[in-house]
A and B are shown apart, each in its own frame.
Chain A
Amino acid sequence: MKKIKKIKIKVNGKFSLINDNLSLSIFLKQLKIPLKKVAIELNHEIIDKNKLKKIKLKKDDKIEIVHFIGGG
């Protein structure tokens, strides 16, 4: 059986080990992120949520997932 290569990425400041060649769309689904309530940044660039499927995650990618919380 072929061993799946793992890559290290950073999500909201924490390291995460994921399968190589994973799309951003599937990764966010695995995290159960409610897409309508968040914004996504990949390597400091805001990602159009309609284009998540086309983006393959690479080693050392930095993802930020943000939402609204209580604040003044």
Chain B
Amino acid sequence: MKNDKLVVAKKKFNSRLIVGTGKYRSMSECAKAIKLSGAEIVTVAVRRVNISDKKKPLLMDYINPKKITYLPNTAGCFTSKDALRTLRLARDIGGWKLVKLEVLGDKKNLFPDMIETLKSTEVLTKEGFKVMVYCNDDPLMAKRLENVGACAIMPLAAPIGSGLGIQNTTNIKIIRSQTKLPLIIDAGLGQASDAAIAMELGCDGVLANTAIAKAKKPFEMALAFKNAVVAGRQSFLAGRMDKSIYGNASSPKKGII
């Protein structure tokens, strides 16, 4: 397991858990949860600086970008144009080229607009970005994203922030079988066991935000996700036993009295 690392765009990470930094009650709570989760990549949003209140704490003061990889995300963008603008700005903040693309098409379910997403992936890749792409659990679209240069495929488990867990394990398995790119389940996980299931399906990692931030006890849930991702990965590598519809006794028949 020591050499079993998550590799994204040639960068190696020990942890297969990526966590979001939104929805926490405070920056210090967010920072502590990240530490407990063991995550080495965190997603961040690009927003306007609050000019009237300069005393507002800055994310970078709590989470050191030299120690934790910031993954700028286009959360909240509904067009390719907005997503491209956001990531170009993100790159300018400090040279971030590894980014997460998310172009939403539907305000109620927050499903991705895959046509805009595909278009943006192509443009960003040509501009030198390494694009991890939030997408539907659609094998055909996942393939198309791969063809235009995505560096990681990030299908949803369920709608963002819904906590429903993986809704379509079959599609995730199909996507797994067709790609060698990092496959990371993004969005919709609700509890640690969901992360373990994702890893047992052969995913390379999971991304969680709301499931940790909005747990009754975020610190405990951060730790639970850390352990679940490790357990799920180990279980996948160990290879499950064959299923049978019949019982099969564990004790030998020989020597029964």
Contact = CB atoms under 8 A, between A and B. Distances in A.
B160 A72 contact: yes
Contacts of A31: 51, 54
Interface of B: 20-24, 27, 30, 43-49, 51, 54, 58-60, 70, 72-73, 75-76, 85, 88-90, 92-94, 160-161, 187, 209-210
Given A37-B93, A39-B90, A72 B47 contact: no
A26 interface: no
A67 interface: yes
B93 A67 contact: yes
A65 interface: yes
Given A12-B49, A36-B94, A39-B92, A71 B54 contact: no
Given A66-B89, A67-B59, A72-B160, 14 more contacts: A13-B48, A36-B94, A38-B93, A64-B48, A64-B89, A67-B58, A68-B90, A69-B45, A70-B21, A70-B22, A71-B43, A71-B47, A72-B22, A72-B210
A32 interface: yes
A39 B27 CA distance: 21
A2 interface: no
A47 to B, nearest CB: 8
Contacts of B54: 31-32
A11 interface: yes
Nearest to B207: A72
Nearest to B21: A70
Given A33-B49, A46-B88, A69 B93 contact: no
Nearest to A71: B45
A14 B45 CA distance: 21
A71 B94 contact: no
A65 to B, nearest CB: 5
